[in-house]
Every structure is written in structure tokens, then in C-alpha cells.
Amino acid sequence: MTHTNKLAIHGGEKAKQTPFGTGKRFGLEEARELLEALEQNTLFYHFGNKVKRFIADFNEMYGVPYSVATSSGTAAIHVALGAAGVTVGDEVITSPITDQGTMIGILYQNAIPVFADLDPYTYNLNPASIEARITPRTKAILVVHLAGNACDMDPIMEIARKYNIKVIEDCAQAYLTEYKGRLAGTMGDYGCFSTNDFKHISTGDGGIVTVNSGDEEDYRRTHAFADKNYKRIGESLDRNPSSLAPNYRMSELQGAVGIGQLKRLEWLCGRRAELGSALTEGLKDLPQLTTMQVLPDSRCTYWFYMFRLVEDKLNCTREEFGAALEAEGIKNRLGYIPSVVYMQPMFQNKQAYLNSQFPFDLTGTDYKQGDCPVSEEILRTAIQVPLNEFYTDQDLQEMIEAIRKVTLYYAK
């Protein structure tokens, strides 16, 4: 073994010698918009022009007829569920590997999350598994385009039409992600985005729901659900709700920052797509790993990168692999979340609300280890590494070198 192949964790030279590239996410553009927002003398979205402009720019970029601004991505998903008519005792089929924000709206509507299994290499919902989970209670499918990678939407939309159920796309991690030339967030009935501080673009917190039907009534319903079910489009105002909806309004300050952020989006997603594909190219010949699979004619915009270890081809545990990679100068996380969502205490105890089993007790739904075996395998064998638009080509080369060095050292 040559000197350079000695792992850093064993006292060898680190593969990554220089710090990763960084950059500023916010600039004069955002500052100018913020100042204008303040000069309006109101920060309420309905009276000002910043949220309206943010949404108009987003609609143009996405080629969608309508969308609604919200206070978070979680809020966007809850609003889409409300607009889709999801209510007490309904079932919503979704992914067991996702952010908690995917679950919250389902349970606040007193509906019941049902988990379908994932594809082992795209980490996205397997259409056959979705269909197997459909019952007369199923009201919606909530797909998650994980890490900016597109779900297989054609068969999913076909299933939804067959059973007459709604499709909501969780695009919190999937800006400008493409599936067969179509943008994620424009294919289902609603597309939900997050602008929290960790996503591709940030307004501190915030979100967007697209209304893809093009139906004005649908838009009015969605808009109202983000604003107490007050009807506040145009000049008229109706504050006499006939059902419950939360206040998830976006403020003018968030809208102002969003206008500036959208201008950076094409570049930023382009760079992430390039870096992620290059990482796959640099690793795909290693039989000890599996890389992220992107569907044909599709584009992943890599909110992060996640590969999997092929355990029987490696002489190390995942913990040892991760520690060795860290020592080479590459930060990483084992898996993505601590466990599949249905193993959380909340699901195991069927207790979303303190001292209550509602709404779980409305159905016989059970959550147990083994429900989604592929998803469990993914989380057990995956290693996640960060990707950022400010990484240089050299950063990427060193990242590939580091992963290759650790893999080849432990290869059987």
C-alpha cells in the first residue's frame, strides 16, 4: 500500500486539504427589495406588492397558473391537503423517508398517514407499493421528491386517476427538478415548496403551493386555507368561514427576499445538478457502493447526495466508513433521519395528540418494523454527504478521491 493510500484516520494524509468553497446567499438585490417592502408602510401580503410579485415570478418560472405563498413548507403541505379536501379519517399515502413537515399537515387534518415503500436507488415512492396501499379511505398520495430527485410520476398519476384520488408533490428539496421534461411541482394537483433557511433558496422561513388544475375555484380554496379561510382575493373580503383553516400567511419581508432569491435559482440548481452528476460519474464503477439513480430524461438538483454501501463487498461497518470519510475531510451523515417515520414513538404509540389515540383509532392502521423493508434497508446502509452550489471543481474531485480512497481501503 502506497503512502497516499494510508487512511487519514490511521495517520495518513487527508484527501481533502483545503476548505470547501463558500459564498453569500443574499446580496444587494434582497436588500433593495427589503427596503422597498418597508417603504410600502405595510408588511401585510394583501396590502403590499412583494408577496404578490414573488408569486407572480414563481408562476412565470414554473409555467403554472396559480400559486399561494405560505409561512413554511410544512404549511404549504397542510394547505394543499386542506385544498384537496383531506379531512377526518381519510388516509394519505406517503414516504417513510422524509422530513417531519410531510407528516404534520396530515395529522392536523386528523387524517392518517399510510406508508408505501421506496425504490432502492432513487429513494422515492414505488408506484406498485402505492397501489397496494390504496383503500376506500385513501384521499391523496403525497409524494416526496427526495434530495431533488424526481419520483416516477407517470405511473403515480395513472394510479391516482384510476382511483380518483389527489396527488400532492412535496418539492421542499426539489427546486427545478425535472421528470421527462416536466418540472416537479407541476404534475400533481398541488406542488409544495419550502424556503426555510436550509433549502435551495431561503426567505428565513416560507413556502409556496402551486395550484395546477388551473381552476379558479381551486385557487380560491387554496388561498383561503392559508389565511383562516377568509376569502381575500381581489377587492372583496369575506370573513365568515364555513370550516377550519390555519393562519399560514407569508409576510412582505419574506416575499421581498424571495424575489431576489428566485433570480439565483436557475444558476444554483444548474450547478448542483452538475456537481451531483459528476459525483455519480466518479463513483459508479465501484461495486462496493451504489450511487443515486436519476430516472431517464430527468434532472436531479441534489439538495444533498446519498449513496449506499454494499455490505457484503466491504470489510467495515457503516460507522467505520463514515468515521474514515470524516477523517479525510468529508463531513457525512449515516442515513438521513434516525429511523423510518413509522418507527417514531408518535406512530408506534399511535399518539399524535397528548392523551388521545385520535385519529389513529378511526382505522385499524398499524405501524411496525418491516412494513417498508426497502426503505429500512436504505436508511440502514446509506451515507449522506452535503452538496453546495459554491463547491469548486477541485472540491468535487477531492470528495470523489476521499470516497474512493475509503472504499478501496475497506474493499473485500
Ligand X SMILES: *Cc1c(COP(=O)(O)O)cnc(C)c1O
Grid cell in block for residue 258: 424571495
Per CB under 6 A, 144 contacts ligand X: yes
3-state DSSP assignment of residue 36: helix
Residue pair 156/163 in contact by the 8 Å Cβ criterion: no
Minimal distance in Å, beta carbon 339 to ligand X? 16
If one asks whether residue 124 binds ligand X (CB under 6 A), the answer comes out as no
Binding mask 258-277 for ligand X (x = CB under 6 A): --------------------
**Residues 6 or more apart from 155 whose CB is under 8 A from it?**
127
Which residue is listed with cell 436508511?
379
Site membership for ligand X, residue 101 (CB under 6 A): yes
Q: Residue 321 or residue 336: which is nearer to ligand X going by CB?
A: 336
Interface with ligand X, residue 298, by CB under 6 A: no
Q: 378 is written with which cell numbers?
A: 436504505
User: With binding defined as CB under 6 A, does residue 148 bind ligand X?
Assistant: no
Task: Note the Cα 266 to chain centre separation in Å.
Answer: 18
Give one DSSP letter per residue of 363-398, joined into a string: S-----TTSSHHHHHHHHHEEEE---TT--HHHHHH
Given the complex with ligand X, which of 26 and 358 has the nearer CB atom? 26
* Grid-cell match 417531519, residue found: 100
User: Which of 16, 53, 72, 283 lies at the binding interface for ligand X (CB under 6 A)?
Assistant: 72
Please give the C-alpha separations between residue 126 and each of 150, 154, 158, in angstroms, as whole numbers.
Answer: 12, 12, 13
Would the CA dihedral through 343, 188, 134, 152 be positive or negative? negative
Q: What mask, x for binding ligand X by CB under 6 A, covers residues 203 to 242?
A: --x-x-----------------------------------
- Residue 412: partners with Cβ closer than 8 Å, 6 or more residues away: 288, 312, 313, 314, 315
Q: Nearer Cβ to ligand X, position 303 or 360? A: 303
Looking at beta carbons only, is 140 or 144 nearer to ligand X? 144
Kindly state the number of chain residues that form the binding site for ligand X, as judged by CB under 6 A: 15
Only one of the segments 66-74, 220-228, 284-292, 365-373 lies at the binding site for ligand X (rule: CB under 6 A); that segment is: 66-74
C-beta closer to ligand X: residue 195 or 212? 195
Find out whether 390 and 21 touch, Cβ atoms under 8 Å.
yes
Q: Check: CB of residue 200 under 8 Å from CB of residue 175.
A: yes
Residues 122/292, Cβ–Cβ less than 8 Å: yes
Task: Write the binding mask 155 to 174 for ligand X: x where contact by CB under 6 A, - elsewhere.
Answer: ---------------x-xx-
Instruction: Write out the three cell numbers for 88.
Output: 377526518
Among 30, 53, 74, 222, binds ligand X (CB under 6 A): 74
**194: contact with ligand X by CB under 6 A:** yes
Interface with ligand X (CB under 6 A), residue from 102, 124, 251, 332: 102
With CB under 6 A as the contact rule, the residue among 8, 83, 91, 98 that binds ligand X is 98
> For binding to ligand X (CB under 6 A), which residues are involved?
72-74, 98-99, 101-102, 144, 170, 172-173, 194, 196, 205, 207
